[in-house]
Amino acid sequence: MLLRPILTSILLLAPLCSGLGLAQAAAPARVKVAQDDVLLEMSQAFRQGDRKRLSALLPRAQGHLLEPWAAYWELRARLDTASASEVREFFRRYAGTYQEDRLRNDWLLVLGQRRDAAGFADELSRYRMNDDREVRCYAVGLAADLPSAEGVSEIRRLWLAQREADEGCQFAAQRLHAAGRLTDQDVWRKARLALENNRTKAARQAVDLVVADAAKTVDEVISSPSRYLAKRVVATGRTREWVTLALVRLAASDPEQAASLLENHWSVHLTPEQRSWAWGAIGRQAAQRLSPEASDHFAKARSSDLGDEHLAWKTRAALRLGRWREVQAAIVSMSPEARKDSTWVYWLARAQLHTAKSESERAEPLRALQSIAGMRGFYEQLAQEELGQKIVLPERPESPTAEEREAARQNPGLQRALAAVALGLRSDGVREWNYTTNLHQRGGMGDRELLAAAELACEREVWDRCINTSERTRSLVDVAQRFPTPHRDAVLSRAQQIGLDPAYVYGLIRQESRFVMDAQSGVGASGLMQVMPPTARWTARKIGLTDFKPHQLTDRDTNIAIGTGYLKLVLDDFAGSMPLAAAAYNAGPSRPRSWRGQSGAPTLEAAIWAENVPFSETRDYVKKVLANTTVYAALLSGQPQSLKARLGQVGPRGGDAPEPLPDLP
């Protein structure tokens, strides 16, 4: 954000300076500022879909470093009516840029919608990004020949996993289903998955593949599953699938009612696979409510019929109850892809170690822990400690050479990305930076280049790209880049003043904002510590910050004072438990209080408690904040650290606890 104030200052000073030379030198700056304003206006016009304004402004952006963005916005806004020659001219003029490949991605979607197989195939061969699910689906739908079994398997996986309905993957699914490469069972599975995740449009789209004129039944199953099930329709053939969908849908709002209906009536009418899936959906919902009945529901399903999300929650429910053999059985039943996740590598190894009866039986789980052990993440750190080793930082790699630094500075994509961020076009700059540095792109950067690019971002104080880029290295790990300490004096002073561990503060800021000073969330949280205005007002009163106004949240020291003040309040409210306080900071204090369980509930390892947090965002947040904290503690102290010591245990709140903190927006 420094570029425009500097340039504006030059313009203001120029008339005051004697001599023609300085005034002439200011002229390019004046043009640059004017073009900056044009870029900002074009960005706004693009968001508003104002095609005429974009076309009128484009000539004034020519010659600007960010001209490729201006040209992209103008053509993208009218891509549905643009000629192929216009598109090809854009590709030629901006060859090799992110904007070229971004527009090619968009153009491929247009060609797919038009069913232009020849044009699509021609452009696909030049598509470098190659990461758009819908483009990959169109490639299957438009190809002259059906893909191999491996290709069909990939499309099936993409289609089953898609979060929202899209035309491209529906088109591919229609073709594969018509050719017998996707079965009716695949289609109903897709509908079940969609309803379990409240993606009703995707569920409707899936059912359309196998049932004509099904809108009325779909509407009833989605809007009133209990009423549909109360009809006690004859469950034969396709009707069984409707019943299964209705049970899945009902489980989302009332798992116990769904369990009662399944147990007392529908169980005998469904196939074993349908019955298992329904119990899996019920078990998942019960587990997310931390119900002790969840494991009993899962026990009525065959694991081989369940999806990975069912099995993940079956594992979590078994962990809460200390049923290690059930943990092991559930993880073993997951797909090979799911089992590769460090979460399940760790818990499978723990379960195997818990049930091992000899040293030979311990060998395999110990090797599994060794395969993930390190400082990179939550379960990687826990694996290292399970092997008897504290968390230590790797030796810092050799700094980038002068030549490597210069190559990063001269990289056109990085230049444009930094210029966009400086101009306030952060999301555009981030996308171009990621594209330029992505290891998965053809010709992408190696570790040394990534370290140099990360260093450049650090120098410019674009901390989120510094962290993100450094995290992409595979063999060279620069912990200081991945875990920077901006505003060090302010953070350490404030943490010491109120008795907070500065590593915990840094761990939370890194997760909240990546040190982006002007970060704004979609719900209105602001600044380094992402504080909501109502929370800020309440905290300001609690900590004695007089005359606070919400606009002050953009001030660094005020944001740190209020964010750390609130963190200290929730930490004290939860008796110093870092996992519980992190959950409270993210989701409000009442939720982690309820997640602790009622009086008499078992005391759990905090890692088991964290893995059972029902909200995926908060679950991920707690784990990342605590892993971050452990690394920052090693950085700040220079000493080996323990994540397990910070986690501790989590049990129900005592009856003599003080008045709990309220939830705030």
540-547, long-range: CB < 8 A, 24+ apart: 540/565, 542/569
- What DSSP line would sit under 345-366, residue for residue? HHHHHHHHHHH--SHHHHHHHH
Alpha helix segments (H runs only) across 499-648: 502-512, 533-543, 556-573, 578-587, 590-595, 606-611, 616-637, 643-647
The span from the CA of 526 to the CA of 425, in Å, is 17
- Three-class SS of residue 646? helix
| H or E element at residue 605 | strand 604-605
Q: Which two tokens stand for residue 314?
A: 């079956």
Q: Which two tokens stand for residue 107?
A: 């153009």
**Beta-carbon contacts of residue 15 (< 8 Å; ≥ 6 apart):** 23
Quick check: is 150 catalytic?
A: no
The span from the CA of 356 to the CA of 361, in Å, is 5
Quick one: CA dihedral 339, 344, 348, 349, positive or negative?
A: positive
CA 312 → CA 288, 330, 335, 343, 391, distances in Å? 11, 8, 11, 10, 27
The span from the CA of 539 to the CA of 560, in Å, is 12
CA 95 → CA 55, 99, 127, 449, distances in Å? 21, 9, 12, 22
Give the other-Cβ count within 10 Å of 388's Cβ: 6
Alpha helix segments (H runs only) across 98-148: 98-114, 117-124, 133-142
- Three-class SS of residue 178? helix
Q: Which two tokens stand for residue 437?
A: 């540095």
Task: Provide the CA 567 distance to its chain's centre, in angstroms.
Answer: 23
- Comparing C-alpha atoms, which of 424, 419, 423, 418 is closest to residue 437? 418
The span from the CA of 584 to the CA of 489, in Å, is 26
The 8-class DSSP code of residue 391 comes to B
Catalytic residue (one of 386, 512, 611, 617):
512
The span from the CA of 58 to the CA of 42, in Å, is 8
Q: Are 184 and 191 in contact (CB under 8 A)?
A: no
The span from the CA of 205 to the CA of 224, in Å, is 19
Determine the residue type at 410: Q
Q: To the nearest 10°, the Cα dihedral for 534, 535, 538, 539?
A: -150
Rounded to 5 degrees, what are φ and ψ at 252? -65, -30
The span from the CA of 176 to the CA of 154, in Å, is 12
Please measure the distance between the N-terminal and C-terminal CA atoms of the chain and give it in whole angstroms.
Answer: 29
- What DSSP line would sit under 257-294, residue for residue? HHHHHHHHTGGGGS-HHHHHHHHHHHHHHHHHTT-TTH
Q: Which two tokens stand for residue 29?
A: 């700056």
Could you list the active site residues? 512
